[in-house]
Amino acid sequence: MAWVPAESAVEELMPRLLPVEPCDLTESFDPSVPPRTSQEYLQRVQIEAARCPEVVVAQIDPKKLRRKQSLSGCQPAPEGYSPTLQWQQQQVAQFSAVRQSVNRHRSHWKSQQLDSNVTMPKSEDEEGWKKFCLGERQCAEGAVGPTKNENPEIDYIQIGFPPLLSIVSRMNQATVTSVLEYLSNWFGEKDFTPELDSKDDERVPALNLLICLVSRYFDQRDLADEPS
């Protein structure tokens, strides 16, 4: 039988550029077989376009909508909090050297055997990665204060595994991106907004380092302060 696409408002707004003969859908028609001619190719495109719904509803993760959205550009840091340009340039140079060294030795670290208590979750296991990175104690609902640990050794299952090279080298870029998003969602759910008491707060250098690398090494210039 001959297949003729139905007229629609979309076709009136977007007229066809090339004339295409109606497609003859015989019993031997197999959409999995590659088209043999340009005419068959255009006809298959026509069929696929007609089968697409005119209205598509996007599936949006509600967790992503809970995160606070920030405007481009940031308020300058208070006086005394922003590092000097020389300090920033030194951190960028050191980070670049360390990053290149890690890339050169990635295969070596990847081949190192993990301890028996290290079980890395699958990439799509959000809850598993939260417990792996933050520890079961931190992720437990209503957990207050430290729990007793009779084992004299550090219990990483409870406090979370540090980003050791033997672990990070086994993660591809897609997994790294997913894990960072999982942790960002977790911090957003917990309304994690640290307040710095003063410029002498021990967290200031670490936060400055993160902002410096993101803004100056990875070129997110809207985060960079005016150098002092």
The reported pLDDT for the residue numbered 91 is: 94
Distance CA 175, CA 98 (A): 21
The one-letter amino acid at 221: R
The reported pLDDT for the residue numbered 141 is: 58
Residue 12 has pLDDT above 70, yes or no: no
Tokens describing residue 38: 């340009």
Residue with more model confidence, 53 or 2: 53
Counting Cβ atoms within 10 Å, is residue 129 exposed (0-12), middle (13-18) or buried (19+)?
Answer: buried
- Proportion of the chain above pLDDT 90, given as a percent: 20
> Could you tell me which residues come within 8 angstroms of residue 194 by beta carbon, excluding any fewer than 6 positions away?
203
User: What is the Cβ-side half-sphere exposure of residue 124, based on CA atoms within 13 angstroms?
Assistant: 0
**pLDDT category of residue 1 using cuts at 50, 70 and 90:** very low
pTM for the predicted model, two decimal places: 0.54
pLDDT tens per residue, range 159-215 = 899 988 889 889 988 999 999 999 888 888 776 666 777 888 888 888 889 889 998
> Could you tell me which residues come within 8 angstroms of residue 151 by beta carbon, excluding any fewer than 6 positions away?
none
Residue with more model confidence, 226 or 80: 80
Least confident of 62-71, 144-153, 157-166, 199-208: 144-153
The reported pLDDT for the residue numbered 68 is: 53
The reported pLDDT for the residue numbered 181 is: 92
Average of per-residue pLDDT values in the chain = 77
Give, in order, the Cα–Cα distances in Å from 123 to each of 14, 34, 173: 42, 34, 11
Section 220-224 average pLDDT: 79
Residue 204 contacts residue 78 (beta carbons within 8 Å) = no
Distance CA 228, CA 88 (A): 10
Spatial CA neighbour of 182 closest among 119, 142, 131, 118: 131
Least confident of 21-35, 83-97, 100-114, 213-227: 21-35
Classify residue 117 by its DSSP letter.
Answer: T
Going by DSSP bridges, is the β-strand pair 2-3/23-24 parallel, antiparallel, or unpaired?
A: antiparallel
The reported pLDDT for the residue numbered 121 is: 94
pLDDT tens per residue, range 41-54 = 777 777 777 777 77
